[in-house]
Amino acid sequence: MSRPPFPSGWSSIPLSLKNLTLANSLPVGQSFLWHRHAIASSTPGCPTEEFSRAVDNPPRVVCLRQSPSHLYYTGVYPNEHDALADLRRGITKDWVNDYFQLKAHPELEKMYDDWRARDPELFGKVEVNKRAVGVRVLRQDPWECLIAFITSTNNHIPRITSLLHRFSQSFSPPLVTLHNPDNDGETTYHLFPTPTALPTKLEALLRSMGFGYRASFIESSLQTLEEEFKEEIEAGLLRWRNQDVDTVREKLVALKGVGRKVADCVMLMCMDKPSLIPIDTHVAAIAARHPAFPSRLRNKPMSKQVYDETQQFLLDRWGPMGGWCQAVMFAADLPEPKPKVKVVKTKVNTSVTVKRKLEEVSPTLNLKRTRSATRLELKQTRTIVTDEVKMEE
DNA sequence: CATAGACCTGCTTAT
DNA sequence: TGCAACAGGTCTATT
């Protein structure tokens, strides 16, 4: 099994990076199951990396690449014959348009303009740089998204990613194996497991897989959903897209492991509720930077009331697409993706290196200052410095 | 109703 | 090397 030759065997859509940037939308904490590979023999002006993952209905691997002017896509099927039907019926084309909401919200740039006008104090100060450009809220599958965000609680993005890949590999059979585009090994793709594919004694298994205390949350939520939807959990959750926020929030929060924040994430990212702004530690910190942010909410532990008031404050600034604005702010605030190097600590007496580090993390914009950057800044007088040493892997 | 503690775990990070 | 703190929070048991 292999990909079609690029670009001749692929399809494409004219699309600017300002309207969608894959690298700023896929690996920034809303979806966790995309594989990301560099492309080995890349010529200037052509895509340098590929994102790919297994997608259902029908089962296949969707591969995406992007140039400054086009989004390229192809579907790789277990039976190559089916790729023709995909093209004929526009299956993956439709999927791309739906997943990235290109038809529902065709002009992301106009949204940025709107947010700048609405909120000159905070969003207006964001430099739309490499990290903040083209950030879209994805329209994800609710079942997968729900499990993902139950898993996300009190966890890092790298660990969430690792756990969910493990989850898919454990409970879903291999679908397709492809050589990686960087010519470095191969990847076996698995669909996200359907609810019916999960074993009855789930909690112990999930614990052994590293889910920790979330294991019981997932088992309990699955049981609750089975009681409501029988064997049709995925379809049942999809129908929640048509209901109003308060109704759906009530149902989501009734699930174990789903609090206000996770419920808001699920509704924003798969239930067509674009105004919802999930308030997590990052977004709370971002809100606190706003000059008009009520001082009585500053440095307060998160409570239902603080949550509500913070969310309302941001909604007032960002408007009906506030959840999308939050996604931009969140992505811009994320620490730089970790390079594949081993960091060796050595004692060196210089503050110059520390300053260079700071500039790498936060070149121009103090809005996108990260925790670690802030920590570094506070400790500038220290003499610990890092040397980077390449490590093959 | 609001608010402390406890809670699994690690391609964590810091001390 | 060892130990603590932290991570896109939530649950539970108390005031």
Please report the pLDDT score of residue A373 as a whole number. Answer: 34
Question: Out of A93, A110, A130, A261, which one is annotated catalytic?
Answer: A261
Is A121 among the domain residues?
A: no
Is A377 among the domain residues?
A: yes
- Residues with Cβ within 8 Å of A111's Cβ and at least 6 positions away in sequence, in order, are A105, A321, A324, A325
Contact between A53 and A38 (Cβ < 8 Å): no
Is A388's pLDDT higher than 50? no
What is the per-residue pLDDT across A338-351, written as a single tens digit (0 to 9) for each? 554 443 333 333 33
- Residue where the block lists tokens 């909401």: A101
Q: Note if the bond before A78 is cis, omega within 30 degrees.
A: no
Task: Tell me which protein residue sits closest to nucleotide C7, measuring alpha carbon to C1'.
Answer: A155
Please report the pLDDT score of residue A362 as a whole number. Answer: 34
Please report the pLDDT score of residue A334 as a whole number. Answer: 81
Q: Average pLDDT in the A252-266 region?
A: 98
Contact between A354 and A311 (Cβ < 8 Å): no
Q: What's the CA A25/C1' B5 distance, rounded, in angstroms? A: 36
Is A342 assigned a catalytic role?
no
Is A384's pLDDT higher than 50? no
Q: What's the CA A82/C1' B6 distance, rounded, in angstroms? A: 52
Cβ of A47 less than 7 A from strand C: no
Q: What's the CA A294/C1' B11 distance, rounded, in angstroms? A: 40
Is A156's pLDDT higher than 60? yes
Is A385 among the domain residues?
A: yes
Is A326 among the domain residues?
A: no
A245 burial level (CB within 10 Å; 0-12, 13-18, 19+): middle
Is A378's pLDDT higher than 60? no
Domain span at residue A373 reads 351-392
Q: Average pLDDT in the A52-81 region?
A: 97
Please report the pLDDT score of residue A129 as a whole number. Answer: 87
Cβ of A136 less than 7 A from strand C: no
Q: Average pLDDT in the A370-380 region?
A: 33
Please report the pLDDT score of residue A337 as a whole number. Answer: 62
Is A309 among the domain residues?
A: no
Q: What's the CA A194/C1' B12 distance, rounded, in angstroms? A: 30
Cβ of A219 less than 7 A from strand C: no
Is A382's pLDDT higher than 90? no
Is A360 among the domain residues?
A: yes
Please report the pLDDT score of residue A355 as a whole number. Answer: 33
Look at the pTM and tell me if it is higher than 0.75.
yes
What the block records as the tokens of A135 is 């950030």
The mean pLDDT value of chain A amounts to 87
Cβ of A213 less than 7 A from strand C: yes
Q: Which residue in A360, A287, A297, A293 sits closest to A330, CA to CA?
A: A287
Is A366 among the domain residues?
A: yes
What is the per-residue pLDDT across A207-229, written as a single tens digit (0 to 9) for each? 999 999 999 999 999 999 999 99
In the 8-state DSSP scheme, what is residue A2? -
Is A358 among the domain residues?
A: yes
Please report the pLDDT score of residue A203 as a whole number. Answer: 98
Please report the pLDDT score of residue A48 as a whole number. Answer: 95
Q: Average pLDDT in the A377-392 region?
A: 31
Please report the pLDDT score of residue A374 as a whole number. Answer: 34
Task: Tell me which protein residue sits closest to nucleotide B15, measuring alpha carbon to C1'.
Answer: A384
What is the per-residue pLDDT across A276-325, written as a single tens digit (0 to 9) for each? 999 999 999 999 999 999 999 988 999 999 999 999 999 999 999 999 99
Cβ of A155 less than 7 A from strand C: yes
As ranges, strand B nucleotides with an atom below 7 A of a protein CB are 2-4, 7-15
> Phi and psi at residue A341, in whole multiples of 5°?
-130, 155
Q: Average pLDDT in the A76-91 region?
A: 97
More confident site: A191 or A127: A191
Contact between A271 and A247 (Cβ < 8 Å): no
Percent of chain A with pLDDT over 90: 81
Distance of alpha carbon A298 from alpha carbon A310, whole angstroms = 10
Q: What is A182-237 written as a DSSP string? A: TSS-EEEEEPPPPGGGS-SSHHHHHHHHT-TTHHHHHHHHHHHHHHHHTT-HHHHH
Please report the pLDDT score of residue A339 as a whole number. Answer: 53
> Phi and psi at residue A329, in whole multiples of 5°?
-60, -40
Is A79's pLDDT higher than 50? yes
Q: How many domains does chain A have?
A: 1
